[in-house]
């Protein structure tokens, strides 16, 4: 989708829209927090409007970022964390490499072998990932089931090792904390659809924050901001 048509019918400048989407997905802020912050800068925007922006532009940010991600290594760390949707706990599958770079993520209603296999397939299809030499997981019985299925249909190499060693997964457990910190002020999602779309933006901003985008340094917030505007073809 061309950026020109993406912002069509929006009553605010693209820079304002991206500022709010970036802020909501990067920092532990509520929609009302952003509404107040915009008002302090002379921009009157309702929190419900910011919500619509996030649901529309967060998945687009994730989509446009993917082709700009640096290649990750072949040692995976896979785990799932809990996300509340309509008062019930759902499962956010996440994977990082041994250097802490995000491989991919997937929100799932279930935590079983089929869900784990589906997640592995998604990670394998990503442009920036390599075929894993080893996959480290916790003691969840669903992971061996998923691996057997993937090896049986030759989706993954027979030589790929599955290690069920919990202490080696400290890297991804630490990475979960940043996602949970952002999600906490949201106080749960109202629908699976909104959760999935919002989380895609949060994960995209997490990758950018970690310096995974090619040519964008970790901690360089100005270049990160400019990079996002370039992704959406918004010139300063």
**What local confidence, expressed as pLDDT, does residue 101 receive?**
97
Per-residue pLDDT reduced to its tens digit, 101-138:
999 999 999 999 999 999 999 999 999 999 999 999 99
Per-residue pLDDT reduced to its tens digit, 87-106:
999 999 999 999 999 999 99
Sign of the CA dihedral with 227 first, then 232, 233, and 236 last: negative
* Single pTM value for the model: 0.94
Q: Comparing C-alpha atoms, which of 56, 29, 60, 34 is closest to residue 45?
A: 34
Cite the beta strand spans of the chain per DSSP E.
Answer: 75-85, 88-97, 102-108, 134-137, 161-164
**What local confidence, expressed as pLDDT, does residue 219 receive?**
87
Q: Comparing C-alpha atoms, which of 221, 208, 177 is closest to residue 65?
A: 208
Q: Comparing C-alpha atoms, which of 235, 32, 84 is closest to residue 92?
A: 84
**What local confidence, expressed as pLDDT, does residue 8 receive?**
83
How far out from the chain centre does Cα 229 lie?
18
Give the domains, in start order, of the chain with CATH numbers.
3-68+190-231 (no CATH), 75-178 (3.30.420.10)
Low-confidence ranges of the chain (pLDDT < 70): 1-4, 235-236
Q: Comparing C-alpha atoms, which of 22, 34, 11, 20 is closest to residue 231?
A: 22
**What local confidence, expressed as pLDDT, does residue 42 receive?**
96
The percent of residues in the chain predicted with pLDDT above 70, rounded, is 97
């Amino acid at each position: 989708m061309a950026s020109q048509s993406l912002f069509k019918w929006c009553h605010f400048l693209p820079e304002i829209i991206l500022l709010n989407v970036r802020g909501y997905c990067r920092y532990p802020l509520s929609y009302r927090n952003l509404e107040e912050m915009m008002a302090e800068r002379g921009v009157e925007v309702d929190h419900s409007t910011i919500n619509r922006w996030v649901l529309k532009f967060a998945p687009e940010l994730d989509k446009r970022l993917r082709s700009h991600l640096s290649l990750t290594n072949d040692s995976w760390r896979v785990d799932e964390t809990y996300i509340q949707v309509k008062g019930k706990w759902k499962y956010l599958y996440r994977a990082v490499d041994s250097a802490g770079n995000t491989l991919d993520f997937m929100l799932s209603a279930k935590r079983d072998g089929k869900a784990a296999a589906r997640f592995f397939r998604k990670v394998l299809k990503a442009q920036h990932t390599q075929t894993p030499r080893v996959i480290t997981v916790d003691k969840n019985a669903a992971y061996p089931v998923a691996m057997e299925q993937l090896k049986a249909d030759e989706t993954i190499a027979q030589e790929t090792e599955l290690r069920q060693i919990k202490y080696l997964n400290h890297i991804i457990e630490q990475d979960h904390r940043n996602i949970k910190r952002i999600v906490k002020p949201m106080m749960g999602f109202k629908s699976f659809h909104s959760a999935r779309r919002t989380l895609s933006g949060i994960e995209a901003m997490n990758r950018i924050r970690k310096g995974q985008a090619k040519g964008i340094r970790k901690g360089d917030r100005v270049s990160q901001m400019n990079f996002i505007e370039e992704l959406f073809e918004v010139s300063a």
